[in-house]
């Protein structure tokens, strides 16, 4: 009897105009059928996290880059992979949404023509930037994610939901501008920063730089990432958290969330997802 194939996790996103998001969602349901995970589809693009053995992920990535029905929309979309000890997902779903990231600011979309490439920094350039004294480093995630792990010197906006983030920025922007501060920003995979950075530059007048590919890319690229990163990186699946070398930790959902209104529902959701597993899992040890 052959051993079960090892699972890998991939994450991806691309902001690109989709004139027929419903048709795109149907096509993606066909392409992800052999996999597990979740994909969001909206008029502003797609975002997803999937898991499967390497050969199935290879086939999916090839289809996203080359399937003629996609008309080249995702031919340059990068995929980030990480190992799995715990099965991240138990089923696969494609969700049709109004936005793939709900910022909550009217008229703001992730589709920005001619986005300044210089504001996307690779991990080494980001490391050098955040060491500068005139830079304020913002964690563009929820408070419980920051609490679990963060970059050294990073500021916690203290938000319980991404929709609260713009309000925090509006309050702080005048002070940062008066102090001549540049803003460095990061999130888990880069998508939240992608949605907010252009708005921050255009509407708030901030000089903004974002970590390309987010925390996951930083930890993947730099073997000594723990020089800058402390703690663990929360991931929104059954693995719960990864260390500075992208290895799954023993942290459970119960250890991540506090007993507050902002976080109790997240624990309940994690427990519901966990209950799909027919075997005891990390979250119920």
How far apart are alpha carbons 197 and 184 in whole angstroms? Answer: 10
Identify the active-site residue in 84, 187, 193, 233. 187
H runs (alpha helix) in the chain:
21-31, 54-66, 123-129, 143-148, 165-178, 191-204, 214-221, 253-256, 261-274
H/E element holding 250? none
Check if 187 is active-site: yes
User: Do residues 41 and 97 touch, judged by C-beta distance below 8 A?
Assistant: yes
Asked whether the CA dihedral 211, 71, 92, 7 is positive or negative, the reply is negative
Ramachandran sector of residue 121 (left: φ over 0; alpha: ψ -120 to 50; beta: rest): beta
- DSSP string for residues in 50-117: EEE-HHHHHHHHHHHHH-GGGTTTTTT---EEEE-SS---SSEEEEE-S-SS----TT--S--TT--G
Joined together, the tokens standing for residue 100 give 């793939």
* 215 class by beta-carbon count within 10 Å (0-12 exposed, 13-18 middle, 19+ buried): buried
List the catalytic residues: 187
């Amino acid at each position: 009897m052959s051993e079960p194939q090892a699972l890998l996790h991939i994450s991806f996103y691309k902001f690109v105009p989709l004139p027929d998001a419903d048709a795109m969602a149907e096509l993606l349901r066909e392409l992800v059928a052999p996999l597990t995970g979740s994909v969001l589809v909206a008029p502003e693009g797609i975002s997803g996290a999937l898991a499967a053995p390497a050969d199935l992920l290879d086939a999916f990535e090839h289809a996203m880059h080359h399937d003629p029905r996609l008309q080249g929309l995702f031919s340059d979309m990068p995929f980030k992979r990480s190992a799995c000890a715990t099965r991240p997902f138990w089923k696969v779903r494609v969700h049709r949404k109004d936005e793939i990231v709900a910022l909550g600011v009217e008229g703001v979309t992730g589709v920005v023509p001619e986005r300044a490439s210089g504001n996307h920094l690779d991990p080494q350039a980001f490391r050098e930037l955040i060491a500068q004294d005139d830079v304020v480093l913002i964690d563009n995630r929820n408070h419980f994610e920051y609490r679990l792990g963060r970059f050294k010197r990073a500021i916690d906006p203290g938000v319980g939901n991404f929709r609260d983030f713009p309000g925090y920025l509006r309050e702080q922007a005048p002070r940062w501008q008066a102090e001549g501060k540049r803003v460095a920003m990061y999130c888990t995979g880069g998508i939240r920063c992608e949605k907010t950075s252009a708005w921050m530059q255009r509407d708030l007048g901030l000089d903004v730089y974002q970590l390309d590919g987010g925390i996951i890319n930083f930890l993947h690229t730099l073997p000594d990432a723990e020089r800058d990163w402390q703690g663990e990186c929360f991931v929104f699946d059954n693995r719960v958290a990864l260390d500075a070398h992208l290895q799954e930790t023993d942290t459970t959902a119960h250890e991540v969330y506090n007993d507050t209104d902002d976080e109790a529902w997240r624990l309940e959701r994690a427990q519901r997802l966990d209950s799909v597993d027919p075997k005891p899992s990390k979250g119920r040890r």
